[in-house]
């Protein structure tokens, strides 16, 4: 997709050459700033109440008189925010879906002003509207012919808008990579495949990568990760990615992504309904890869490490059993009471491994608990941290990126539930507060650094008719990384 910014006055919109002109309108005086034929057309459809300035509404005009573009779409935004703008652009593109328009120009009317955030939101809306998964369904067609988008703005700070477009495009590339990985079925996206993706990313974008196999993981002493991986014939991988954008002595940020490429539950096997969706259980890993993709484009002055423990969770004659006790890399022993609580078992060893980087902060990202979906639904990811400053940064990054999260508690009282008579801890704490006790489990491995956990079980993918990966929380993580750069 080709994105351009053109500083053009609102009064000259009738002369814009494009296959379609989209005019986003917000506020009471919708035609504010428009003049000539477009102002007249908008006035007409408003007065006839064919078009109302209400979120979600659009109106399509074919070859309107006095306008050079052969197609015009008016799309209403509920207010002047970049969030409302993104949604309005999405609706406008739906109105143009299946048209042969290749070049769409997008302009603002009413109370809207173009900012960097608006430009970034535009790219996100266009990417959402045009992404189609084809790897195992090559017959799926892209939803239109769109290949060029021109953003028109007046009084806008060109540099800021250009930066917004660049940020949007880097994030879009990261989101698309994450979606591509996560949408691939479990027989395609294996731990080996994830490692190959990391290697390709490193090769193409100047990153460093190291891939550890079972032998190396055994030598390190990751007994907890190994316990999950041993039920599968598919070989495990432990991926270490590095982006070096700052001086060597600068402490890195570390991102840790859960890479369960299929979660059957293991011996504590899941019911079969919707089990196919457990191919998305590597959404955390995908978001780490996607964030590295975006960061490699944007080149912030920061050091970043990505850790991905990747394996399958399968039932087998050699699989770990309920009641088995394992020793984690930290030395703490774990009684595995439920083999379906496997995410925390692979993450805890990766979190201990993170210590060697003497990190400025560690953020893990995981499709960790069904309980988090019950608590927060599909709009906000769960954020867990005892560090108020880190919480604030991540919450704000999510808001700015339109990829929101919500803080959940971590009081020590919740730790009680993890007590075991046979090990330092059990791996489950019962149904009550399941997302919190999972986070409390991880917390036991993070004493040496500042740490936050994102439970993305409700946000990494969509079910139902629109089943597919979302690429979240790549936008949140990219904004967080950018916010920490000097
Ligand atoms: N990958 C799942 C979490 C999950 C379940 C995400 C459904 C999205 C939808 C995780 O490994 C898991 O199975 N968690 C268990 C934990 C329980 C056994 C304590 C869960 O949430 O049921
Ligand atoms: Mn599980
Ligand atoms: Zn899982």
Please write the tens of the pLDDT for every residue from 138-158: 999 888 899 999 999 887 789
pTM of the model: 0.98
Q: Is 324 annotated as a binding residue?
A: no
Structure tokens at 463: 């079910």
Q: Is 233 annotated as a binding residue?
A: no
Rounded-to-integer distance, Cα 16 and Cα 281, Å = 46
Rounded-to-integer distance, Cα 217 and Cα 305, Å = 18
Q: Is 462 annotated as a binding residue?
A: no
Reported confidence tier of residue 383, pLDDT bands at 50, 70, 90: very high
Sorted by where each begins, the domain ranges of the chain are 2-152, 172-483
Which ligand 1 atom minimizes the distance to the CA of 437? 19
Which residues of 111-178 form beta strands (DSSP E)?
A: 148-153
Tell me which residue of 473, 165, 119, 469 sits closest to 297, measured CA to CA. Answer: 165
Rounded-to-integer distance, Cα 259 and Cα 312, Å = 8
Reduced to 3 states (helix: H, G, I; strand: E, B; else coil), residue 140 is coil
pLDDT at 31 over 80: no
Reduced to 3 states (helix: H, G, I; strand: E, B; else coil), residue 196 is helix
- Helix or strand holding residue 371 (H, E): helix 370-376
- Cβ atoms of 178 and 165 within 8 Å: the answer is no
Q: What is the mean pLDDT of the chain?
A: 96
pLDDT at 29 over 80: no
To the query of whether residue 344 is one of the catalytic residues in this protein, the response is yes
pLDDT for the residue 447: 98
Reduced to 3 states (helix: H, G, I; strand: E, B; else coil), residue 238 is strand
Residue 355 burial (10 A CB sphere; 0-12, 13-18, 19+): middle
pLDDT for the residue 21: 98
Tell me which residue of 129, 124, 118, 174 sits closest to 151, measured CA to CA. Answer: 118
Where do the H-state alpha helices sit in 210-319? 214-220, 223-229, 283-298
- Cβ atoms of 347 and 256 within 8 Å: the answer is yes
pLDDT for the residue 266: 98
Helix 158-183 and helix 283-298, axial crossing angle in degrees, nearest 10 = 150
pLDDT tens-digit map of 35-87: 899 999 999 999 999 999 999 999 999 999 999 999 999 999 999 999 999 99
pLDDT, average across residues 459-476: 98
| Buried b / exposed e along 271-292 (16+ C-beta atoms within 10 A) | eeeeeeebbbbbbbbbbbbbbb
Interval between CA 347 and ligand 3 midpoint (Å): 11
Helix 158-183 and helix 191-205, axial crossing angle in degrees, nearest 10 = 150
pLDDT for the residue 33: 79
Tell me which residue of 238, 425, 457 sits closest to 350, measured CA to CA. Answer: 238
Structure tokens at 427: 């791996």
Q: In DSSP terms, which residues pair with 109 in a beta bridge?
A: 25
CA of 455, nearest ligand number: 1
Percent of the chain, pLDDT > 90? 92
pLDDT at 347 over 90: yes
| Buried b / exposed e along 99-122 (16+ C-beta atoms within 10 A) | bebebbbbbbbbbbebbbbbbbbb
pLDDT, average across residues 174-197: 98
Q: Is 208 annotated as a binding residue?
A: no
What DSSP designation does 431 have? S
For ligand 1, which residues put their CB under 6 angstroms from it? 263, 281, 338, 340-343, 367-371, 373, 428, 434, 457
- Helix or strand holding residue 257 (H, E): strand 253-257
CATH code, 2-152: 3.40.220.10
pLDDT for the residue 24: 95
- Cβ atoms of 217 and 230 within 8 Å: the answer is no
Interval between CA 286 and ligand 2 midpoint (Å): 17
Angle at 77 between CA 75 and CA 79, to 5 degrees: 160
Active-site residue (options: 10, 167, 179, 344): 344
Interval between CA 382 and ligand 2 midpoint (Å): 17
- Cβ atoms of 362 and 256 within 8 Å: the answer is yes
Interval between CA 340 and ligand 1 midpoint (Å): 7
- Pick from 314, 341, 366, 369 the residue to mutate for probing ligand 1's pocket: most ligand atoms within 8 Å of its CB: 369
| Residue corresponding to tokens 């986003």 | 24
Active-site residue (options: 83, 102, 270, 462): 270
CATH code, 172-483: 3.40.630.10
- Cβ atoms of 404 and 383 within 8 Å: the answer is no
Rounded-to-integer distance, Cα 14 and Cα 413, Å = 64
Q: How far is CA 275 from CA 236, 239, 325, 389, in A?
A: 21, 26, 27, 38
Characterize the bridge pairing of strands 425-426 and 361-366. unpaired
| Residue corresponding to tokens 């423990």 | 309
pLDDT for the residue 7: 84
Q: Atom 13, ligand 1: which residue's CA is nearest?
A: 340
pLDDT at 111 over 80: no
């Amino acid at each position: 997709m080709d994105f351009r910014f053109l500083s053009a006055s609102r009064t000259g919109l009738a002369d814009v050459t494009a296959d379609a002109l989209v005019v986003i309108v917000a506020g009471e005086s919708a035609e504010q700033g428009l003049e000539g034929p477009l102002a007249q057309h908008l006035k007409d459809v408003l007065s006839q109440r064919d078009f109302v300035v209400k979120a979600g509404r659009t109106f399509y005009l074919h070859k309107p008189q006095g306008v050079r573009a052969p197609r015009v779409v008016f799309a209403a935004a509920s207010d002047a925010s970049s969030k409302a703008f993104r949604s309005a652009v999405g609706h406008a593109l739906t109105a143009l879906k299946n048209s042969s328009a290749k070049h769409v120009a997008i302009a603002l009317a009413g109370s809207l002003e173009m900012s960097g955030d608006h430009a970034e939101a535009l790219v996100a809306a266009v990417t959402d509207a045009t992404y189609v998964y084809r790897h195992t369904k090559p017959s799926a067609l892209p939803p239109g012919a769109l290949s060029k988008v021109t953003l028109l703005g007046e009084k806008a700070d060109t540099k800021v808008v250009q930066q917004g477009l660049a940020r949007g495009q880097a994030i879009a590339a990261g989101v698309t990579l994450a979606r591509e990985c996560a949408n691939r079925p479990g027989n395609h996206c294996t731990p080996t495949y994830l490692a190959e993706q990391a290697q390709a990313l490193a090769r193409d974008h100047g990153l460093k990568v190291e891939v550890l196999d079972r032998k190396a993981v055994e030598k390190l002493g990751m007994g907890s990760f190994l316990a999950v991986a041993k039920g599968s014939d598919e070989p495990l991988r432990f991926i270490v990615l590095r982006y070096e954008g700052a001086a060597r002595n600068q402490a890195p940020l570390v991102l840790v992504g859960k890479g369960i490429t299929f979660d059957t539950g293991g011996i504590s096997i899941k019911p079969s309904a919707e089990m196919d969706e457990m191919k998305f259980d590597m959404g955390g890993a995908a978001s780490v890869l996607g964030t590295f993709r975006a960061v490699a484009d944007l080149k912030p002055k920061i050091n970043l490490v990505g850790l991905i423990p990747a394996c399958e969770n399968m039932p087998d004659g050699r699989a770990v059993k309920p009641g088995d006790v394992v020793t984690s890399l930290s030395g703490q022993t774990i009684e595995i009471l439920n083999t379906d609580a496997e995410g925390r078992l692979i993450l805890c060893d990766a979190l201990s491994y993170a210590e060697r980087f003497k990190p400025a902060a560690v953020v893990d990202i995981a499709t960790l608990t069904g309980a988090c979906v019950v608590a927060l639904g599909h709009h906000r990811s769960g954020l867990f941290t005892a560090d108020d400053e880190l919480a604030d940064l991540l919450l704000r990054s999510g808001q700015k990126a339109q990829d929101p999260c919500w803080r959940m508690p971590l009081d020590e009282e919740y730790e009680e539930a993890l007590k075991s008579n046979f090990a330092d801890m059990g791996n489950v704490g019962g149904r009550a507060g399941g997302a919190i006790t999972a986070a409390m489990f991880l917390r036991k491995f993070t004493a040496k650094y500042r740490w936050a956990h994102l439970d993305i079980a409700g946000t990494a993918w969509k079910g139902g008719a629109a089943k597919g990966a979302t690429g979240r929380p790549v936008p949140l993580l990219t904004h967080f990384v950018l916010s920490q750069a000097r």
